[in-house]
Chains A and B, each alone.
Chain A
Amino acid sequence: SAVISQKPSRDICQRGTSLTIQCQVDSQVTMMFWYRQQPGQSLTLIATANQGSEATYESGFVIDKFPISRPNLTFSTLTVSNMSPEDSSIYLCSVAFAFSYNEQFFGPGTRLTVL
């Protein structure tokens, strides 16, 4: 398994601003992912964070709105840019190991409220 931490755990932001969420893993992982969970909803994959290259975004999500970095095998950031109230969600980081591709481990999530 993996111990995953996210910072911040929660934040309240003004519309039009940006927030960067950090995801730190206690061991090197092959895959890192970012999910969004809107209030009372299920999880939707935003993108796969690729180490040393651009992230792979899912349909409906674009780099200008959700820039992602992954400088090494244990760390990634997701930025929510030019926020609006519709961006109020829980953002979760998840990871997968090369030897256990059939399982993803999730971080505790970041609860974002945009006023």
Chain B
Amino acid sequence: AQTVTQSQPEMSVQEAETVTLSCTYDTSESDYYLFWYKQPPSRQMILVIRQEAYKQQNATENRFSVNFQKAAKSFSLKISDSQLGDAAMYFCAYRPKGAQKLVFGQGTRLTINP
């Protein structure tokens, strides 16, 4: 069965600094999608960034970027120039191509210190 592991239950960072959230996953599939979702206290799940496994280039969305290491089954999220609005729970998620089920990690609570 596919599993997603986020080994950092909580992280904190000073405003304007950079933080990296870790995610590893286990799958026997070769083609799949990986996602980072943000869930602020309002509960609204927001897609932060998406990576397709067949693409070697790491995805980037403004201050958010990933380090995708397919062989190591690792998918970390880097947030640069952290802002107070980045404070939230961050979930890593996996979905095999051709299926719709998202498998989520346990989440990492990110705190931004002013």
Contact = CB atoms under 8 A, between A and B. Distances in A.
A48 B91 contact: no
Interface in B53-106: 91, 95, 97, 100-102, 104-106
Interface in A35-57: 41-45, 48
A42 B91 contact: yes
A42 B42 contact: no
B50 A103 contact: yes
B104 A102 contact: no
Nearest to A40: B107
Contact of A108 (B43, B50, B91, B95): B43
A61 interface: no
A58 B105 CA distance: 17
B100 A43 contact: no
Interface string A96-107: 100001111110
A106 B100 contact: no
Nearest to A31: B100
Interface of B: 33, 35, 37, 42-47, 50, 52, 91, 95, 97, 100-102, 104-107
Nearest to A96: B100
Interface residues of A, number: 22
A111 B42 CA distance: 11
Nearest to A101: B100
Contacts of A105: 47
Contacts of A31: 100
A90 B37 CA distance: 16
A94 B43 CA distance: 13
Given A108-B44, A111-B43, A48 B102 contact: no
Given A58-B101, A102-B33, A102-B50, A42 B107 contact: yes
Given A45-B101, A102-B95, A92 B45 contact: yes
A42 B104 CA distance: 6
Nearest to A43: B104
